[in-house]
C-alpha cells in the first residue's frame, strides 16, 4: 500500500464536510428560491451594513484586549521554570475542556443584575453596574473564551527563542528594555500574528456569546446568518450570500496577516 493512500479517508472527509457545503453556499448565494441566477441576495446585504460594522468592531476590540492581556502572560510564563510552565499551561487550557456554552452561561450568572459581580459590589458598598445585555458583556465573553488562543501561540514562539541571543545582547551592553524591544518582541511577532488570526476569526463569526451576554441587542454576523437558516426570517439564499462575503473577508484578512508575518520574519532574519 502506497503511503499517500492513507490520505484518502481525509480527502473524502474534506470533500463531504468542507468542500461540498462551500459549493452549496456558493450556489445558494447566486440563486433565487426558484433556481434563477441573481445578484439580488448581495444587494440586499446593504441593509445589514451596521451588523457587519458592529461584528468587525467588537472582534477588533476583543483582539486588541487579548493582545494586551495575552502577551504579558505568555512572556512571564516563558521566563518560569519548566514545572511552573506545565502547571500554568494546564490552567490556561482547563476552561477549554469545558463546553463553550457552559462557559458563556457561567458569565451570565456573574454579570447579570443579581449576579455575583453586583452582589460583591453591594457587599462592599458600591453601586451596581448594568453590564449584562450590552456590548461590553459581549466583549468580555469574547475575551474570556478566546484569550487562550492568543496566549498559547505567543508562548510557543517566545519559549523557543535562543537564550544565547539574549545573553549576547546583554553582553554587548543592551538593557532589559532594549533586549525586549529589539530582540524578543520582533522574534515573537509570528506568534502574535497567529494569535490575532485565531482570535479575530472566531470572534467576528460568533453568535452564542452575543445572544446570551448581549441579550440579542447587539446582533452580530453569526446571529444574522443563524436567523436566515433557523429563525423566523428563513432565507437560506440571503444567509448563504452573507456567509460567502464574510468568508471572503476573513480569507483576505488571513492572507494579509500571513504576508505581514512573512515580511516580519524576513526582516528579523536580516
pTM, whole model, 2 decimals? 0.87
- Whether residue 30 lies inside any domain: the answer is no
Specify if 36 maps to a domain: no
**Backbone φ/ψ region at 89: left (φ over 0), alpha (ψ -120 to 50), beta:** alpha
| CATH number (domain holding residue 142) | 1.10.3720.10
Residue numbers of the domain that contains 57: 48-269
Q: Report the candidate in 148, 157, 51, 18 with the shortest Cα–Cα distance to residue 95.
A: 148
Tell whether 18 is covered by a domain: no
Residue 74 CA to residue 90 CA, distance in Å, equals 13
**pLDDT band at residue 2, thresholds of 50, 70 and 90?**
low
Q: How are the residues of the chain apportioned to helix, strand and coil, as percentages rounded to the nearest 5?
A: 80, 0, 20
Is 206 within the bounds of a domain? yes
Give the model confidence (pLDDT) of 71-84 as tens digits. Answer: 999 999 998 888 99
**Chain segment 206-224, per-residue pLDDT in tens:** 888 998 998 878 889 989 9
Structure confidence at residue 267 (pLDDT): 45
- Do the domain assignments include residue 174? yes
Number of domains in the chain: 1
CA distance 47 to 44: 6
Say if 27 falls within a structural domain.
no
Amino acid at each position: 500500500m502506497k503511503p499517500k493512500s492513507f490520505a484518502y479517508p481525509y480527502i473524502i472527509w474534506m470533500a463531504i464536510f468542507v468542500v461540498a457545503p462551500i459549493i452549496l453556499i456558493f450556489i445558494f448565494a447566486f440563486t433565487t428560491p426558484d433556481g434563477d441566477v441573481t445578484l439580488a441576495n448581495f444587494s440586499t446585504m446593504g441593509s445589514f451594513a451596521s451588523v457587519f460594522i458592529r461584528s468587525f468592531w467588537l472582534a477588533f476590540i476583543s483582539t486588541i484586549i487579548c493582545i494586551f492581556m495575552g502577551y504579558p502572560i505568555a512572556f512571564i510564563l516563558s521566563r518560569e521554570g519548566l514545572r511552573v510552565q506545565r502547571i500554568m499551561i494546564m490552567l490556561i487550557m482547563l476552561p477549554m475542556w469545558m463546553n463553550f456554552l457552559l462557559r458563556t452561561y457561567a458569565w451570565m450568572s456573574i454579570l447579570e443584575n443579581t449576579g455575583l459581580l453586583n452582589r460583591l459590589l453591594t457587599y462592599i458598598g458600591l453601586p451596581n453596574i448594568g453590564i449584562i445585555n450590552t456590548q461590553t458583556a459581549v466583549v468580555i465573553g469574547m475575551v474570556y473564551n478566546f484569550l487562550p488562543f492568543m496566549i498559547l501561540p505567543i508562548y510557543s514562539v517566545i519559549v523557543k527563542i535562543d537564550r544565547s541571543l539574549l545573553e549576547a545582547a546583554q553582553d554587548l551592553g543592551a538593557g532589559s528594555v532594549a533586549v525586549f524591544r529589539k530582540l524578543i518582541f520582533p522574534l515573537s511577532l509570528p506568534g502574535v500574528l497567529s494569535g490575532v488570526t485565531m482570535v479575530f476569526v472566531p470572534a467576528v463569526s460568533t453568535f452564542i456569546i452575543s445572544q446570551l451576554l448581549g441579550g440579542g441587542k447587539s446582533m452580530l454576523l453569526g446571529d444574522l446568518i443563524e436567523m436566515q437558516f433557523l429563525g423566523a426570517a428563513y432565507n437560506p439564499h440571503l444567509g448563504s450570500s452573507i456567509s460567502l462575503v464574510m468568508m471572503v473577508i476573513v480569507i483576505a484578512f488571513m492572507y494579509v496577516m500571513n504576508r505581514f508575518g512573512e515580511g516580519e520574519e524576513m526582516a528579523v532574519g536580516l
